[in-house]
A and B are shown apart, each in its own frame.
Chain A
């Protein structure tokens, strides 16, 4: 039984060329995401990944179809769903003049719960930034902080929207490790990405989206067996990123 079940999801937006017409940003999508798996929505920009994710989260209204999260109907009880999910948005900005600790306490208060900001920040390797302002953080630190914000309610499901876009390889690897360890603690993770390597390394199962539809859905290994062309006879040892990391080291740069 999936913890997330989406049936025939549709979302239409007015066409940018002709306002009388609409186009389907998301077209009849079916998803069943199992408890404790890392599920990836893979696709090029504009494929409908973020729209799909936001419909699952109850942030964008659903035109047709339905979504059940932990057997709660997102359309009927959005507030109940929001209580058990953690969301990292693609773009994150916070109130000015509040430091990380104050922001975490603020977000926790919106769930009517209290947290220890220090241990939460330690979880994402930001314990020494407890009094820093979000704008003083580097890109990788900002992403890790936004994950910390998504964890304040100890969610059952964590949604990550392009968590590693714009990060350097060190920060990216670090974030993958964070996602892995959260997953090992029992958290279901749904993420979007257009990074193939990320999908392959991190996800238990992936769905490939294009033009609002899911065109393939399986484990990365099975998808490779099904669709990938024959590998070259002498396989390459690693890739250029491994070279980059070997030369510059694995330590975080921010």
Chain B
């Protein structure tokens, strides 16, 4: 036995240089994404945009009324993600004017506008997407991972199981063997999903994404976007994408615009304990893929701890599983 009791004399010398100290964020209880459009939809007529915002409105009101706040007065902020990664023209001022006007007329106040490109790479060149790509952990196969396997996937795909397999037939007489796909965490039956995270094609518009030469997929960038809203992506303890106040003028080029712009000066904080995305039903497969990506994302434990501490201090319930902090409402299709 040895004694765990400290020596009689307390230590006088301390040198602890913690590389990263995680900053506490100002947090809303809920971040609501109020609709989504592809860039070509924003470029064209006003009517579909107006219609979507009108459909969003009652659900936004419902979201505000039902935000989980642990007894505090609910803080809800709204945001909109501009799809400028895959295609864009130098018309940011016109589009932003149209977007903010139509949403306002439909009674939907947009507090923050973010650029999807910033989820790949920030205005200052920092590779935001890398924060997620390097923290994705491939799901171990049942009884097939004892600790020596490299932790992340370099293939650019993320699945929740094993694909169907066809065995090679060596002799023509042998029966053709086939094994079905298998979801590792299945409940009775499998829903196997394999999501492409990036490919190696150059980005269609604008510069490439640095040395990696990756073109990120829509679900991957949407997963980055969700994690940003939840305050889980940090660079040196600070939010990976920062909020900039609107200076009254939109730059002509999208890639000159700040990563996240606060367009409503009276808005509640951008980052939130939970998120809700209201969007057309056609985005369901993308959001299913987002969930698959987020289920394999291992957050920095210090960031998790910081959020838990903040939530705990205010009695705000915060689910440990990240995907449980996300919610969606899918608007019906057609007109």
Do these two chains really belong together in a complex? no
Point out residues on A near B: beta carbons under 8 Å: none
